[in-house]
Amino acid sequence: MQIHFGIQLDGLHPLAHPTTDDAPDTPEQAILGVWHFGPLGLIRWLETELGVPAVTAHSTEQLLAYQTCLETADQPERFYSRSFALDPLTVTRTLLSWRASWYLGGWDGSPHITASSRLYDLFAVEQMAQQIVPLCEGQRVQRLTAALAAGRRTQLTQVTLHDRLVDLPYVWQQLMAHLPVTTAPGVAPRPAAPATSDLGRVQRQLLQFAQQERVDLRDRTQLSGDGSVLLVQATSRDISADWLAAYVGREQSVTPTISPQTLVVAEQDGIIIDNALERGGLPRCGFTHLSRSRPLNQLIKLALSLLWAPVAPHQLLQFLLHPLAPLSASVRQRLASAVASQPGCGGQAWQAALADIGQTLDGSDEASVEAGQRHLRQIETWLAGQRFDPEQGAPIEVLLKRVQDCRRWVTVLQNTGAASKVESAAAAYTSTPAIYGAALGQTAALLTALEELRSAGRQQLPKIELDRLVHDVSRPQADPTLLAQAGHVAASAHAACVTRAWSQVIWWDMRAVAPLAPPIWSSAEQLELQAAGIHLPDQAALLQGHALARLRPVLNCRDRLVMVVHDDEVHQQVGKHPVWQQLNSAFTGYPELNLDDVLWGGVHEEWLQVPAPELRRTDLPARVSHWQLPPHVDINPRAVESYSSLSKLFFFPHEWVLNYAARLHPGRAEDLSDGNLLYGNLAHRLFELFFQQHGAWQTADVTDVERWLRAVLPVLIETEGAVLLEPGRGVDRQRVCMVLEQSLVRLLEHLRSADIVKVEPEQTLQRDYVDGVTLQGTVDLLLTHRSGRQIVLDAKWGGERYRGQELRENRQLQLFSYAYLLSYGDDWPEAVYFVISTGNILAQDNRTFPQALTFTPVEPIAAGEVWRQGLATYAWRMQQLKAGRIDLPGAAAADGMLHNDGADDPFDDFRLLLGWGEWA
C-alpha cells in the first residue's frame, strides 16, 4: 500500500496524470493500492487501519461545546470576558483556532505555570474542554502516533511526502517518524529548465529570492525573449478561460489525447475554466465549486428568517417565490402578489389572498375542501405563527420546531422527488441525492446545536447568534453535479501540489494572495508555550516555506511557463501575486501578450494563434416608427378598460400591446412596492381607514386625529409597508409618517372649508365606454357637497407641478375618466387632485375649495368635448391595431425613417420571441 500525502492534496491535484521519468505511460492513480490523501483523508484512513474510533462530530458541535466551556469558566477578570459577552460565537471560534494550533504543536492539554493571563485562562478552560469538546486535528494525529508507537501496524509500504517534512506541523512530523517516508522529487527547490533559457534564469533568480532575506533589485535582468516565459493579459476571466479551452482543444486535435505534459494551475475560481472547457466540448477538470447557496439551504435560512418581528418583506417574498417552498404553487402565487403590492403580512391584500385561498372550504367537492384546509394549515405553520424581537431572541423550543419542520419537508422532497414540486429544470438540478444529503446534514447539525444550547440552560437565542449559528453549520458544500471527466487536462487548485516536472505550465489568474497573519503571541508567551511542550512554527521558517511552495509551478516547469493575469490585477498598485510581482521587479524582455489584440487579429507567437470562426458584421436594426404584425394576428378590444390601460393605449400603444395582449409583466421578485408608489398606497389606505372609522369626521379635532394616527399608523406600516421597517430605512419611515400625519390633517381642513358633508373612500364604479367595452375605475375619495353635488378627489403622493400642468392643458385623463363614471349627459362632476406630500388641492378654479391651488385652462374646453376626443383617439388606436400597426412614440418617425416591410423585417425576431402565431 502506497500513499501520497500533502497538506493541499485533499483538493484537486495533478498526481493522477502520468509521470515522465519513472512511468511515462502509466497513470499513478490507476495503480492498485496507491492513494492520494490530504490531512483529513489520511487521518480517516489511519483511524480505520489502526482500529481507532473515528470522530464524526460536526464542527458546530465542537464550537458549541467549547463555547459552553468558555461560558462556564467566564469571570470578569478573564481576558476574553467582555468580548465574549458581546459576540460569543466569534470569540469562541477565534479561541478554538488558537487551541487547535496548540494541539498541532504537540500540546497534551495539561496546564502549566505561566505568567501570561491569556495562557492561564486558556489552560484553565482546557481542563473542562478535554472532557466535552470533540477531538480536533492535532488530538487525532497524536492519538494515531500513540497507536503506532504502541506497536499497531498498517498495510503501508511507503508514504511519499509532497511537502517538506520541516514545513509540516509538529504532530505530523511526529507521526511521519513512525511511517516509511520518502519525499517527492519535485518538492526540493531545484530548477527544471535548461540554464541557458529565459525560464532557467527566472527559476534560479526566483529561487534565490525565496532563500535569501534581502535581494538587490536595483537593476532588472534583460531576458532574451525566447518564449519560455510569457505573460498573457486579458480583460476578463471568461475571455482568458475561453482562450485556454481553445488552446487545449487545439492541442488535443494534434494528438489523440490531451498531452500529459501540460498542467493548468488555477488557485481561485477554477470553475470558470471548467465551464469554458465544457463549452468547447472538452472534459471538465473537476475544479470544486463551493457554495453556501444550495436551493434547499436557502429555503432553511428563509424559513428561519420569518420568525422575527417585524416580518422582512424581501425574505418573505423570496420564500414565496422559492420553487421548493412547502406551499403549493397557486398559494404561493396569490400570497406573493399580495406581498408585492403591500409589503408585509396581514394587510388588506394579504387577507384578500387568504379569503381567496379558503373559498374552496365552502364548496361541495370534498377533495377541494380538504385541499383548502391543507393550504390554510400550511400557511398557519410557516407564515402566521408568533414572531419575536430579534434582540430578545426566540425560544429555543420554537427554533427547534421550525428546524424540525424544515427537516421533514426536505425528507418529503427526497422521498417523493422534486419533479412534482418544481419546474423541470429545477427538478433536474435538485434531483441529485447529495444535495438532499447536504440539506439534511445542515438541519441535523442545527438541531444538535440547538439541543446543546438548551441542555446548557439557554432559553432564548437572539437573531444575531442564530444567524451565525446557521452560517457555521452551512459550510460551503461542493457542487455534486460538477465532476472531473475522463481525459481532462492535468490541473491543480494549489501551487504546492505541483511536485513533479511538467513540460508546460499555464498558471491562470495569478491574483493577490492573503499574507500570513502575524504572530498572536508575544515573545514571553512563546517561551512559556515552548516550556509547556507546544512547538509553534517559527515565523521566518513559515514564510520561507510558503515562498518555496508558491514557486513549485515555476521550478517544476521544463519548457514554457505561461502566466495569465487580468486587467483588474494589472492596474492595481499593491496586492499583486508574489511570484508575478517578483518576476516583474527583477526581469524585463519577456513577451507580454494581450488577448484582446489576439482576438482582433493581431500577429503573435504561433502557439498563441487559436482558430476562430469569422464573425460577419451585422448592423443593429434601424429605428422604426411602428411595428407591423402579420395579417393572421388579431388584437381584439378588451372587455374592461381603466384609466391606466387607456393611458397606455393613447400615449404608448406598444406598452398596451405588451401588457394586455402579450401579457408580459415584470417578475414578482423585482416588483416589491416601494418608493412613491408604496407611500401613495399607504396614504390611500390611511384615508380609507380613517373615513370608514370616523363617521363624524367633521367634528374631529387635531388631538383626536393624532391619537388615532398613533394607534393605526404603526400597524399599517408593519402590515402593508414593512420595507420601511428594514435596517437603514429609519429616516424614510419617519419622513413618510410625518407626511401622512400632516396630509390627513390638511385634507380635513380642505373638506371642512369646502362644506363637504359626506366622504366615501375607494369607490369602485363602472359604466359602458364603447360598444362591448366597459370602463371601470376606483375613485380615491367620492365627496358630496352640502348642495348635493358630487366631487371626485384623486390623491397623488407627489408631482404637484406636473399635475398642475395637466389641469392647465386639459390633459387630466384620469380625472376625466372618474368624472365620466358619474356624469349625466353634459352634467359632469368636478374633479380635483390632492397632493399628499404638500397637502395642496389642485383644481382649475377655487369655487369649491377656497384654499386650492388653481390652474386655469389655457383654452377652456368642456369635459364632454375632451371626452369625445378621447373616444375618437380610442377608435383610431383600435383601428391601427386591427390593421396590425403598433405605433412606437418617440421612434425614428421624427427623422423621416419609414418601416421596412421587406424580407429583413426587424420585427421578425421580436414576433418569434413573443409567439404571435399562437394567439387567437
- Enter the C-alpha cell of residue 793: 378627489
| Beta bridge pairs of residue 587 | 221
**What pLDDT shows up at residue 909?**
35
Strand ranges (E), 690-800:
756-770, 773-785, 790-796
What's the rounded Cα separation, in Å, for the pair 502 and 287? 20
| Beta bridge pairs of residue 761 | 781
Cβ contacts of 435 within 8 Å, gap of 6 or more: 294, 295, 296, 429, 480
Give the 3-state DSSP-derived string for 145-190, with helices as H, strands as E and coil as C. Answer: HHHHHCCCCCCCCEEEECCCHHHCCHHHHHHHCCCCEEECHHHCCC
Residue 291: pLDDT band (50, 70, 90) is: low
Q: SS3 of 725, please?
A: helix
Residue 859: pLDDT band (50, 70, 90) is: confident
User: How many Cβ atoms are within 10 Å of 713's Cβ, its own excluded?
Assistant: 19
Q: Which of 338, 413, 414, 445 minimizes the C-alpha distance to 383?
A: 338
Angle (nearest 5°) at CA 255 between 251 and 256 = 125
**What pLDDT shows up at residue 912?**
33
**What pLDDT shows up at residue 573?**
57
For residue 310, is the peptide bond before it cis, meaning its omega torsion is within 30 degrees of 0? yes
**What pLDDT shows up at residue 214?**
60
What's the rounded Cα separation, in Å, for the pair 698 and 245? 78
Question: What's the pLDDT tens digit per position in 559-579?
Answer: 999 999 998 776 665 568 889
Is the pLDDT reported for residue 824 higher than 80?
yes
Is the pLDDT reported for residue 604 higher than 70?
no
DSSP-derived secondary structure letter, 408: H
What's the rounded Cα separation, in Å, for the pair 729 and 735? 10
What's the rounded Cα separation, in Å, for the pair 886 and 893? 13
Is the pLDDT reported for residue 178 higher than 70?
yes
User: How many Cβ atoms are within 10 Å of 830's Cβ, its own excluded?
Assistant: 20
Q: Among 167-176, 247-256, 485-494, where is mean pLDDT lowest?
A: 247-256
Sign of CA dihedral 913, 916, 917, 920: positive
Question: CA dist 825 to 774, 814, 821, 828, 829, Å?
Answer: 17, 19, 11, 8, 11
What's the rounded Cα separation, in Å, for the pair 696 and 758? 10
Residue 899: pLDDT band (50, 70, 90) is: very low
What's the rounded Cα separation, in Å, for the pair 918 and 920? 7
- Enter the C-alpha cell of residue 8: 493541499
Place of cell 511538467: 502
DSSP-derived secondary structure letter, 48: H
DSSP-derived secondary structure letter, 78: S
Residue 914: pLDDT band (50, 70, 90) is: very low
> Mean pLDDT, the chain, as a whole number?
85
What backbone phi and psi angles, to 5 degrees, belong to 835?
-90, 115
**What pLDDT shows up at residue 217?**
59
> For a pLDDT cut of 70, what percent of the chain falls above it?
86
Is the pLDDT reported for residue 426 higher than 70?
no
Angle (nearest 5°) at CA 888 between 884 and 894 = 120
Distance of CA 604 to the CA centre of its chain: 40
**What pLDDT shows up at residue 720?**
95
**What pLDDT shows up at residue 687?**
97
Contact 450, 61 (CB under 8 A): no
Is the pLDDT reported for residue 601 higher than 70?
no
- pLDDT, greater one: 264 or 215: 264
Is the pLDDT reported for residue 27 higher than 60?
no
Q: SS3 of 263, please?
A: strand
Average pLDDT score over residue span 123-146: 95
**What pLDDT shows up at residue 920?**
27
Q: Is the pTM of this model over 0.95?
A: no
Average pLDDT score over residue span 385-403: 94
User: How many Cβ atoms are within 10 Å of 25's Cβ, its own excluded?
Assistant: 8
Residue 120: pLDDT band (50, 70, 90) is: very high
**What pLDDT shows up at residue 38?**
92
Question: What's the pLDDT tens digit per position in 651-684?
Answer: 999 999 999 999 887 765 557 889 999 999 999 9
What's the rounded Cα separation, in Å, for the pair 645 and 652? 10
| Beta bridge pairs of residue 388 | 308
User: How many Cβ atoms are within 10 Å of 515's Cβ, its own excluded?
Assistant: 10
Per DSSP, the residues of 550-585 read HTHHHHTEEEEEEEEEEHHHHS-SS---HHHHHHHH
Q: SS3 of 107, please?
A: coil
Task: Write down the number of H helices and E strands in the chain.
Answer: 34, 25
**What pLDDT shows up at residue 132?**
92
**What pLDDT shows up at residue 113?**
85
Residue 763: pLDDT band (50, 70, 90) is: very high
Question: What's the pLDDT tens digit per position in 477-528?
Answer: 666 667 788 888 999 999 999 999 999 999 999 988 888 888 899 999 999 9
**What pLDDT shows up at residue 462?**
92
Cross-sheet strand order for the sheet of 502-507: 490-492, 262-265, 502-507, 557-566, 229-234, 592-594
Q: Among 31-40, 565-574, 740-749, 796-805, where is mean pLDDT lowest?
A: 565-574
- Enter the C-alpha cell of residue 542: 513559515
